[in-house]
Amino acid sequence: MKYFVPAWQNELDDWAFAVDRLKFDDAINNLKIFMRNDAQCGVIVSEYVPQLTAQLNEAGLAPEKLLTVFDLVQGVTDPRVRQVLDLPDFNWPRGTWFEYDPFRVVAYCDDQKLAQVIFNVRGQILRIERFAHDKHFQDLVMDSRGWLSCLQNYDEQEQLVERVFLDPAGSWRVKERIADGRVFVNPWFAKDFNAPAYQDRQVLIDEFLPRLIKQNLDAQQDEIIFTAADQQRARLSFFNGFKIAAVISRWHAFEEFLPRLNNFTGQLVTDSAAVDARVHELLGNERETLLLPIFSAQFHLGHSQEQLEQTILLVVNDLTPAELRAVLARLLARLDQARFNENLKLVSYDDDQLSRAEETIKELAQDHYPLIMINPTPEQLKPNEDLQDADLTPDMEDLQTAQPIPIYTKRIAQPKDLLTILDSTRVLVDLSMAPDDFIQMAAVSVGVPQINRTVSELVTHQQNGLQIKQISQLDQALDYYLGSMKHWNEALVSSVAMINRYSDEMIMNAWQNLW
């Protein structure tokens, strides 16, 4: 079995503040590729992640084995047990009543606020924040499998001072003092630990992770895919004797971790050309690496060639304000000239970036492009009937007969959002210094040519896209693909060849041949 050792630490968000967005991670995306190909996979989690099962469900993952260090620390004997907890399952004082608002439930008793119940996006209780005399004094942190996992205690100034980790029966196992990080063991469970106290949580993990590995893994049969990230709690040395690949990904900070790889004799895997170059810069060019993307091409060609309108899709991720303004100025001028019957759509992962782009468009359009409309409704695109019988000046006649120029924006929160837009896109423009590899792979899958400013392993110049050096070259690059279908069809053929190169099957074969 292949065991992934990710660098997962984050807990789920309160659903009132959670933003639906794509979540990328080398382990998550590689797991998806492996599981689509029926590979046996397990996951080893070294950090405390009480909402782990909910996070895996959210990502659509169900590994055959899920091993966590804190299950061992907390005395969880059957990690597969699940139950649903609801408000009545807690011991509320007599006379407690609940106020339901759109985001949470607040408990009151004798006109005093007792607690507020925080939920995750799946409707499960995430934690219960307790109050006394209007002061926040404790959190009840829930495990997503349906039990109280941790107490977080606060002082009079409402500052976190202690975490108390519980077993499923409600007995405390270890306490973590926030001030100095020291961890103390409940004497009742001393036999399960090597020491009565630990310098910090890392020392505790260093004791229990080797124990977890020894109890569950076999070096002769199991292989390790290890996330090499700064936040990684597991130590590579714990897997000595196993076949191991260390994955260095752009989705994690990794430069502080790299010195630990100096004596590493296993396989090094990178997920992009930029990461691969940085690894060789820091570890030396003689160090061998294998570049394997964490996204695969899924082959669902688009239908833009069947439409008269040619859609330019601009990715506004990671563009500086000056770059964004320069790109939009060129694109608005192009749309205003109505060359090749073109239109423009903007995408980003972030609402703030899209809002910034919309404000820039409004500023540029105010004096020069009065027909520009951002995200118009169908009603707004209809001719202005109020002007039909008016005494029109020549300028007004021009405005009456001219067609509005709509520009649409969309935040990418799910893969289907991007694929739906790409289905009708004729050319993709991503001029950031580090083009997004998920968006690039999606464009390859749909057969859309791409225009970038930097070299990428997913875009070959004058085959399935173009690399330009300056933003001033954007018009010429767009003409290359929008002026006729010849170059566009050549890019489509190249994309189909690249789909085969980056298919699930090819990526899996590369992994199988790694050791």
- Is residue 114 pLDDT above 60, yes or no? yes
Q: What are phi and psi of 4, to 5 degrees?
A: -90, 135
Domain count, the chain: 3
Query: Would you say how long the chain is, in residues?
Result: 515
pLDDT at 67: 96
- Is residue 182 pLDDT above 70, yes or no? yes
Strand 290-291 to strand 310-315: parallel, antiparallel, or no bridges (unpaired)?
A: unpaired
**Beta strands, E only, 103-208:** 105-109, 112-119, 125-132, 135-143, 147-154, 160-166, 172-177, 183-185, 197-198
More confident: 281 or 299: 281
**Beta strands, E only, 209-266:** 223-227, 243-248
pLDDT at 338: 67
Report yes or no on 148 lying in a domain. yes
pLDDT at 395: 52
Identify which of 111, 116, 135 has the alpha carbon closest to the alpha carbon of residue 127.
116
More confident: 414 or 357: 357
More confident: 280 or 393: 280
**Same domain, yes or no, for 332 and 451?**
yes
Alpha-carbon torsion (253, 258, 264, 267), positive or negative: positive
Of 171, 200, 229, the domain-final residue:
200
pLDDT at 391: 46
The pLDDT tens digits for 29-76 are 999 999 999 999 999 999 999 999 988 988 888 999 999 999 999 999
Query: With bands split at pLDDT 50, 70 and 90, how would you rate the model's confidence at 384?
Result: low
**Same domain, yes or no, for 122 and 42?**
no
Report yes or no on 482 lying in a domain. yes
**Same domain, yes or no, for 324 and 420?**
yes
What is the arithmetic mean of pLDDT over 16-29? Answer: 69
Instruction: Collect all residues with Cβ–Cβ distance below 8 Å to 165 and sequence separation of at least 6.
Output: 48, 70, 73, 74, 149, 150, 172, 173, 174, 175, 176
Identify which of 11, 56, 66 has the alpha carbon closest to the alpha carbon of residue 32.
56
Dist. CA 389–CA 123, nearest whole Å:
57
Of 258, 291, 324, the domain-final residue:
291
pLDDT at 340: 57
Question: What proportion of the chain, given as a percentage, has pLDDT over 90?
Answer: 65
- Is residue 7 pLDDT above 50, yes or no? yes
**Same domain, yes or no, for 380 and 486?**
yes
Q: What is the DSSP letter of 12?
A: P
**Same domain, yes or no, for 366 and 405?**
yes
* CATH code for the domain in which residue 138 is found: 3.90.930
- Is residue 381 pLDDT above 80, yes or no? no
Is residue 296 exposed (0-12), middle (13-18) or buried (19+ Cβ within 10 Å)?
buried
Dist. CA 45–CA 72, nearest whole Å:
11
Query: With bands split at pLDDT 50, 70 and 90, how would you rate the model's confidence at 367?
Result: confident
Query: With bands split at pLDDT 50, 70 and 90, how would you rate the model's confidence at 93?
Result: very high
**Same domain, yes or no, for 117 and 262?**
no
**Same domain, yes or no, for 339 and 386?**
yes
Query: With bands split at pLDDT 50, 70 and 90, how would you rate the model's confidence at 473?
Result: very high
**Same domain, yes or no, for 377 and 494?**
yes
pLDDT at 392: 45
* CATH code for the domain in which residue 69 is found: 3.40.50.2000
- Is residue 102 pLDDT above 90, yes or no? no
Q: At what angle do helices 351-368 and 321-336 cross, to 10 degrees?
A: 50
Of 155, 181, 200, the domain-final residue:
200
- Domain hosting 121: range is 87-200
pLDDT at 140: 96
